[in-house]
Chains A and B, each alone.
Chain A
Amino acid sequence: MSTIHLLAGGFQAAFQFWPFLTIVTGLLVGVVAGAIPGISFVNAMAMALPFTYVMEPTQSMLFLGGIYVGGVFGGSISAIMINVPGTPASLPATWEGYPMTRQGNVKRALAIAVTASATGGLVSALVLAFLSAPFATFALRFSQPEFFAATLLGLVSVIAIAKDQPLVTMVSLLLGIAVGTVGVDPLYGQARFTFGVPEMESGVRFVVVMIGLFAIGEVVDLLATNRDLRPKKIDGKGLGVSFRDILNVKGAILRGTGLGCMIGVIPGAGATPGAVIAYGVEKQVSKRGKEFGTGVDEGLAAPEAAKNATTGAAMVPLLTLGIPGSAATAIMLAAMMLHGVNPGPLLFIMDPSMVYTIFAAMIIANLLMIVAGIGVAQVFSTLMRTPPAILAAFIVVLSVVGAYGVRNNVFDVYVCLAFGVLGWGMKRIGFPTAPMVLGVILGPLAERYFLTSLANAHQDWTVFFVRPISATILFLALVFVCWSLWPALKPIARRLLGRKERFNV
């Protein structure tokens, strides 16, 4: 009862003129920044940080929260429309959403994406408001071995989601992991594959690789093939989707939301593993799993719901424990600390009105996102009528700016351009790029968690199997691999069995 009471107070505070305007502004900034390839919502939040100096602490959180919620969705707009994910978490949207655009169903794709995202975000905001205490306890039970197991599950689900041959996917994934090892190793400070170039010590950032492979690679391909972005036909008036269509994918949305809430709460995980795992699970669970990759509603809805479900969930450890689980929540922590507010259990006692205003704002932001998302998508749809050469120039400029903006480093721009050329080459010969990006993102995480798990367990490798949560996740990963590789394994197994039978006879 007291939670509802406090939340009502939060809504009252959030619906005042200035706070409400702050949420809307943040949301729009987030959606636009997320939709522009190269300017991820994390960059947008970092750039917005100085603006929060002049705000009240609560208002600054509403602003950053708005950018966060809007930005995580915004990345899917460009993913669906031009096959360039605005943020890494929107990768799955390129696999299912872009084919729908090619078929002329761009409005339908966007409507499903925004509905799924908003639902996922809304549920996770409610979880944040009502269940943050048990979820915080849940988050604390995770330690390094569990992080490793979850990351490994993310890596193996890449094999499960692939449209291509599992072998080709694995080569791409492992290449990505190799790229991720460039730089100073996470534990011992040894430089690896830097070839004596000091700039290489900082490593290769996954955002830079992603912008290169997707945005630049896509542009070069677009210009080289003289392909027209404009789809054959654009669906007529209206939203291109009916209420029944949304109801049809409710299972996918619910599964995605559940996975997103669980994964988002784990410090260190985040939107990208959440979306990828949700896509992989959905591909196995859905009746139309075999058609995934051709523009299936469920394949778009599940990861969209999952990635926005991580937003509210990621706020749980930040607000209840004072532990930021991701880059976005780290920036929120910085904003709070700059105002002299320390998040953590004391905040709930000292300043509950602030906490519940943030909760209310997250709920409002997710509801408003449906309007904001469709509005911004309308503006972006004029992009589809832009001549490809002009659009390409814009994407290249924004990509270069984005690669530079990751950490204000010119070297990253060269890396980005190099990966652009590589991405185009891979596209030409039909070599998948997405597993490579996920390898760069998840590989270094897996390595670090593996090594620190061992350090914490006196180098005893059985630690991964004797801890119940870790063992369960690893078992799931094994099931996942067998399940997705079964079509490839079946003939081999049959042959082996067949031979054995012959021997028996």
Chain B
Amino acid sequence: MIRKSNTRMALGLSLVAGTLAFATVAPAQDYPNRPIELIVTFGPGGGADLMGRQMARFLEAPLGVPVPVSNVAGASGNAGLTALRTNAADGYTMGTLISLTVASWAAGLGDNEPEDFRVIAVAQSSPSFLFVSSNSPYKTAEELFAYAREHPSEITVATSGYGTQDDVTLKILSDAGVALANVPLQAPAERYASAIGGHTSAIYEEPGDVAQFVEAGQLIPVVVFDTERHPEFPDVPTSAELGIDISGLDNFRSIAVSADVPDEIVAKLQSAILDVAASDEWHAFCKKTYTCIEPVTGEAAQAMVRDFKDVIAAKLGS
């Protein structure tokens, strides 16, 4: 009787042990063998959501498993990243990590750090512009800035909030004598409506998010915050040409996993994402949203996130 139950117990234990061994060994060898979740850290409809959904859609072919998307919005993307960080580090959860969230870390929000994540690839990036409404009295950045130098803080700019790269850009402008008033409008829809409706003098935005308004001639780009002119907008002067040094504040969007995910899995995900990024469909998507870049991977991607946080923190602290 005792012996019988012992045998059974041994059998049971070996089964459990076998399962455990299988569970721990399996991911590295035949990863991926089940669906990989992609957490979009913002609600449906925004730039991060579009990037995440397109990426998930195209990743299914190279990875050979479904890539379902779930939106975990809240706290500037930190709610989703906390979920990403605390899920099992087995490579079956990916997430979007974008510059806005990194800026929120610099502003002291959330308890996530650059070291908590492994950035697999920065897939999209775009410099930001100032746009004015088509019936604005200022048609160029020179006119806008000249008025602002004479009348500090009278020109209002719709931005995505305080403590963001938008805010930092306006602070740098202010230090250069061009004081513009920051009107923080978190909801993208309100931001666009305020600029088009003429309720704010200008809007700080990346061109992809307002492409339809630019194409319809409702918004006019007046300056790009970069050192080189944007290839799609060759007539728009850079901030550097206007004597203001702003760079390293580009809006980037990346795919990240928990820092504890094994290297072999990261390598597999990276090659899949690079495959997608090299595809024609992805190029067409990026071109439409003016966000095409050569994907940044590895230590360079990691450094991009760290540096961005430091730049914002330094500027917000001063």
Q: Within A331-349, which residues are at the interface with B (CB < 8 Å)?
A: 331, 333-334, 337-338, 340, 342-346
Q: Within B184-219, which residues are at the interface with A (CB < 8 Å)?
A: 184-187, 189-190, 192-194, 196-197, 199-200, 211-213, 215-216, 218
Contact, CB under 8 Å: B162 / A189: yes
Contact, CB under 8 Å: A268 / B187: yes
B-side contacts of A338, CB under 8 Å: 50, 53-54
Contact, CB under 8 Å: A201 / B193: no
Contact, CB under 8 Å: A187 / B110: no
Chain A residue with the shortest CB-CB distance to B47: A337
Asked whether B25 is an interface residue with its Cβ less than 8 Å from the other chain, the reply is: no
B-side contacts of A183, CB under 8 Å: 74-75
Chain B 35-64 interface mask (CB, 8 Å, partner A; 1/0): 000010001111001100110010000000
Contact, CB under 8 Å: B211 / A342: yes
Asked whether B109 is an interface residue with its Cβ less than 8 Å from the other chain, the reply is: yes
Asked whether A242 is an interface residue with its Cβ less than 8 Å from the other chain, the reply is: no
Contact, CB under 8 Å: B111 / A198: yes
Asked whether B251 is an interface residue with its Cβ less than 8 Å from the other chain, the reply is: no
A-side contacts of B43, CB under 8 Å: 327, 330
Q: Within the complex, what minimum Cβ distance (angstroms) separates B318 from chain A? A: 17
Asked whether B163 is an interface residue with its Cβ less than 8 Å from the other chain, the reply is: yes
Chain B residue with the shortest CB-CB distance to A457: B156
List the count of A-B residue pairs having beta carbons below 8 Å apart: 149
The size class of the interface chain A forms with chain B is: 35 or more
A-side contacts of B49, CB under 8 Å: 334
Q: Within the complex, what minimum Cβ distance (angstroms) separates A377 from chain B? A: 29
Contact, CB under 8 Å: A184 / B109: yes
Asked whether B107 is an interface residue with its Cβ less than 8 Å from the other chain, the reply is: yes
User: Given contacts A338-B54, A344-B213, A456-B200, is CB(A201)–CB(B78) below 8 Å?
Assistant: yes
Chain B 95-128 interface mask (CB, 8 Å, partner A; 1/0): 0000000001001111100000000000000000
Could you say which of B65-73, B224-232, B259-267 contacts chain A?
B65-73
Asked whether A143 is an interface residue with its Cβ less than 8 Å from the other chain, the reply is: yes
Contact, CB under 8 Å: A189 / B74: no
Chain A residue with the shortest CB-CB distance to B153: A458
Please give the number of chain B residues whose Cβ is less than 8 angstroms from any Cβ of chain A in the complex. 60
Q: Within A212-237, which residues are at the interface with B (CB < 8 Å)?
A: none
Asked whether A46 is an interface residue with its Cβ less than 8 Å from the other chain, the reply is: yes
User: Given contacts A143-B199, A184-B76, A198-B82, is CB(A267)–CB(B161) below 8 Å?
Assistant: no
B-side contacts of A195, CB under 8 Å: none
Contact, CB under 8 Å: A342 / B194: no
A-side contacts of B50, CB under 8 Å: 334, 337-338
User: Given contacts A189-B161, A458-B181, is CB(A46)–CB(B187) below 8 Å?
Assistant: no
B-side contacts of A165, CB under 8 Å: none
Contact, CB under 8 Å: A330 / B189: yes
B-side contacts of A50, CB under 8 Å: 68-69
Q: How far is the CA of A323 from the CA of B163 in the complex (A)?
A: 25
Contact, CB under 8 Å: A409 / B72: yes
Contact, CB under 8 Å: B181 / A330: no
Asked whether B182 is an interface residue with its Cβ less than 8 Å from the other chain, the reply is: yes
Q: Within A447-472, which residues are at the interface with B (CB < 8 Å)?
A: 448, 452, 455-456, 458
Contact, CB under 8 Å: A202 / B79: yes
Interface centre among B57, B163, B213 (most CB of A within 10 A): B213
Chain A 100-142 interface mask (CB, 8 Å, partner B; 1/0): 0000000000000000000000000000000000000001111
User: Given contacts A189-B163, A342-B211, is CB(A456)–CB(B74) below 8 Å?
Assistant: no
Asked whether A485 is an interface residue with its Cβ less than 8 Å from the other chain, the reply is: no
Asked whether B288 is an interface residue with its Cβ less than 8 Å from the other chain, the reply is: yes
Pick 27 A–B contacts, CB within 8 A, sort by A: A46-B71, A140-B197, A143-B199, A188-B162, A189-B104, A189-B109, A198-B82, A202-B78, A267-B190, A317-B193, A327-B43, A330-B189, A331-B45, A334-B44, A334-B49, A338-B50, A338-B53, A343-B212, A344-B216, A345-B218, A346-B216, A407-B71, A407-B72, A408-B83, A409-B74, A448-B186, A458-B181
A: residues with CB less than 8 A from B are 46, 49-50, 53, 139-144, 147, 183-184, 186-189, 191, 198-199, 201-203, 267-268, 317, 321-325, 327, 330-331, 333-334, 337-338, 340, 342-346, 407-409, 448, 452, 455-456, 458
The 6 closest A-B pairs by CB, nearest first: A202-B74, A330-B45, A143-B199, A342-B212, A140-B197, A344-B212
B: residues with CB less than 8 A from A are 39, 43-46, 49-50, 53-54, 57, 68-76, 78-79, 82-83, 104, 107-111, 153-154, 156, 161-163, 181-187, 189-190, 192-194, 196-197, 199-200, 211-213, 215-216, 218, 284-285, 288
Q: 10 more A-B contacts (CB under 8 A) besides A183-B74, A322-B192?
A: A46-B71, A50-B69, A201-B74, A267-B190, A267-B193, A321-B193, A321-B196, A338-B53, A342-B211, A452-B185
